[in-house]
Chain A
Amino acid sequence: DIQMTQSPSSVSASVGDRVTITCRASQGISSWLAWYQQKPGKAPKLLIYAASSLQSGVPSRFSGSGSGTDFTLTISSLQPEDFATYYCQQANSFLALTFGGGTKVEIK
């Protein structure tokens, strides 16, 4: 299986801050990476697919980049509704999909 490692596991930030989350794959996955946002008690929501493509309806302050093994999710100016847990998910091996461990974005 391809292992996905996210860092940090949690980050404290203020409204307006720029936040960057990293996801590393244990082997190359080209650009087959998605990012999800999950709020407490809710289902995950798709933010980014194919590493850098913004899902319809997602605010442009969210962006993704990377290819191969190293990827980032950036929130350019953190808003109150962005406090949540974020997960990456590799889609290279569709026979064994895997998620990262999650990054919790907390209020500073």
Chain B
Amino acid sequence: QLQLQESGSGLVKPSQTLSLTCAVSGGSISSGGYSWSWIRQPPGKGLEWIGYIYHSGSTYYNPSLKSRVTISVDRSKNQFSLKLSSVTAADTAVYYCARWDDYGDYRSFDYWGQGTLVTVSS
């Protein structure tokens, strides 16, 4: 059974860079047809897609966050990472990592991490 686990700093100061890692177990991050994504949810609000790193290695980001986001993968450690720069209080959210299944008709997030709360505050 595939499992994803987020880790990283839970408190980030305004203007600094948020950094999170998602460790994947029970399967290889290099499996074809899957992409690896970050999604966030501000407290009491809905879901916002941040971006993903495609199985080809290409990255795609939410246009509203594109200038501040970097998603990368470390295949040797079977994990992928998120960096979000110049954070403000508006970036306070639960951050989820998830697998994007792009096989055939699937086109959905089929496995999710448990989520990690990141608070932006001085």
**Residues in A lying within 8 Å of B, measured CB to CB:** 1, 31-32, 34, 36, 42-46, 49-50, 53, 55, 87, 89, 91, 94-102
Q: How many residues of B contact A (CB 8 A)?
A: 21
Instruction: Give the A-B pair count, Cβ closer than 8 A.
Output: 60
Q: Which residues of B (10-55) have their CB < 8 Å from a CB of A?
A: 46-49
Q: Closest residue of chain B to A56, judged by CB?
A: B110
Nearest CB in chain A: distance from B45 CB, A? 8
DSSP class of A's interface residues: helix, strand, loop or mixed?
A: loop
A46 touches B63 (CB 8 A): no
Residues of A within 8 A of B114 (CB): 42-43
Contacts of B112 in A (CB 8 A): 43-45
**B105 & A50 in contact (Cβ 8 Å cutoff):** yes
**Can you list 24 A-B pairs, Cβ within 8 angstroms, ordered by A?**
A31-B105, A34-B107, A34-B108, A36-B47, A36-B109, A42-B114, A43-B113, A43-B114, A44-B96, A46-B108, A46-B109, A49-B101, A49-B110, A50-B106, A89-B108, A89-B109, A91-B108, A94-B107, A96-B49, A97-B49, A97-B62, A99-B48, A99-B49, A101-B46
- A98 to chain B: which residues have CB within 8 Å? 49
Considering only CB atoms, which chain A residue lies closest to B6 in the complex? A43
Binding site for A on B (CB under 8 A): 46-49, 60, 62-63, 96, 98, 101-102, 105-110, 112-115
How far is the CB of A10 from the nearest CB of chain B, in Å? 13
Question: Taking each of B96, B112, B114, B115, which has the highest tally of chain A beta carbons within 10 Å of its own beta carbon?
Answer: B112
Q: How far is the CB of A88 from chain B (nearest CB, A)?
A: 10
Query: In the complex, which residue of chain A has the Cβ closest to the Cβ of B110?
Result: A46
Given A44-B112, A96-B62, decide whether A32 and B107 contact each other with a Cβ distance below 8 A. Answer: yes
Minimum CB–CB distance from B105 to chain A (whole Å) comes to: 4
Asked if A87 and B47 make an inter-chain contact with CB atoms under 8 angstroms apart, the answer reads yes
User: Chain A contacts of B63 at CB under 8 A?
Assistant: 1, 96
In the A-B complex, the 6 residue pairs with the closest CB atoms: A91-B107, A43-B112, A50-B105, A34-B108, A49-B108, A97-B49
Q: Which residues of B contact A1 (CB under 8 A)?
A: 63
In the assembly, what is the distance between CA of A60 and CA of B69, in Å? 39
Contacts of B62 in A (CB 8 A): 96-97
